[in-house]
Amino acid sequence: MNTHFTKTFPILSVVLIVFTLMGCHMEHDQKIKGSQEEIVETPQNQKNTKPIDTSDWQTYTNEEFGFAMKLPGDMKKYVYTIEKNNQKRIKGSPIATLDVRYMLDHKVLQSPQQPELGFIEDMTVWYIDIIPREEYMTDFCAVNHIPLCRQGDVLGQNDTYVFLAGFVNVEGVGYLCAQNIESQSHFCRVSDIFGREDIAQIIDFTMVK
């Protein structure tokens, strides 16, 4: 019996297994890298960096708090609601929030799982937090140790208030727009614009008397 072969066979087997595993690992890494490159190159991820034409946007003016901004889409389809937060408010938190809603192309069930809740006609696309100037904190979330808290960009300020860009939970519009459903194309187009990273810069937020 060839004792040399008997002794070296387990070693060769181990070497072959190691090289096989290395090859699989390298192939896996290449697939991951390729997937990452594909994600970076998709139009969906480039939408927030491309210039946008705002020449046909119209101006919304809020006389109560003294500001104006340009908005996309049909101005007749916007619904604005001021929510006051005077009671049990943490110092430095918004004293009011402007909820910017946009009319859907057609009514949808408020909850597909609970049809008894009925239909909705519009949905929030953005909001603005309004904070008393003397209370404004640049690190409000850290000071108050609030988990999952994120402050928006400062849009502007006057002698009384500081105005912050809000964030919208995409869960609500997800089932309407994630699959590029044409039935809500106008609403989803406006919602997509408000999802841009540079929305705070392109709305041309200004203070008015």
Name the band, by pLDDT with cuts 50, 70 and 90, for residue 49. Answer: low
Beta strand ranges found along 53-185 (DSSP E): 58-62, 67-71, 78-84, 96-109, 119-132, 154-157, 161-165
Q: Which residue has the tokens 């040399």?
A: 4
Contact predicate 82/64, CB 8 Å: yes
Element (H, E) at 41: helix 3-41
What confidence category does residue 110 fall into, taking pLDDT thresholds of 50, 70 and 90? confident
- The pLDDT, as a whole number, for residue 169 is 59
Q: What angle do CA 109, 70, 193 make, to 5 degrees?
A: 50
In 3-state terms the chain splits into helix, strand, coil percentages (rounded to 5) of 40, 25, 35
Q: What is the mean pLDDT of the chain?
A: 77
Does residue 3 register a pLDDT over 70? Answer: no
- Ranked by mean pLDDT, the top range of 60-69, 86-95, 144-153, 177-186 is 60-69
Sign (positive or negative) of CA dihedral 87, 89, 92, 98: negative
24 backbone φψ class: left, alpha, beta (φ>0; ψ -120 to 50): alpha
Q: Residues 189-209: what's their mean pLDDT?
A: 90
The more confident residue out of 150 and 169 is 150
Helices and strands: H and E segment counts in the chain: 6, 8
Region 169-181: mean pLDDT is 63
pLDDT score of 40 more than 60: no
**Which of 70, 75, 72 minimizes the C-alpha distance to 208?**
70
Q: Answer yes or no: are the C-beta atoms of 50 and 44 closer than 8 Å.
A: no
Share of the chain above pLDDT 90, in %: 41
User: Which pLDDT value is given to residue 37?
Assistant: 40
For residue 185, give the amino acid letter.
S
Top mean-pLDDT range of 93-102, 171-180, 192-201: 93-102
Q: If you average pLDDT over each of 30-34, 80-84, 139-143, 164-168, which comes out highest?
A: 80-84
Quote the pLDDT of residue 151.
83
Q: Is 127 exposed, middle or buried (0-12, 13-18, 19+ CB in 10 A)?
A: buried
Strand partners, 156: 163
User: For the ranges 30-39, 53-62, 83-92, 109-118, which has the lowest average pLDDT?
Assistant: 30-39
Return the structure tokens found at 206.
């200004």
* pLDDT for the residue numbered 173: 61
Percent of the chain with pLDDT over 70: 71
DSSP class of residue 208 equals: -
Give whole-number Cα distances, 180 to 45, 66, 128, 205, in Å.
15, 37, 27, 29
Q: Enter the pTM of the model.
A: 0.71
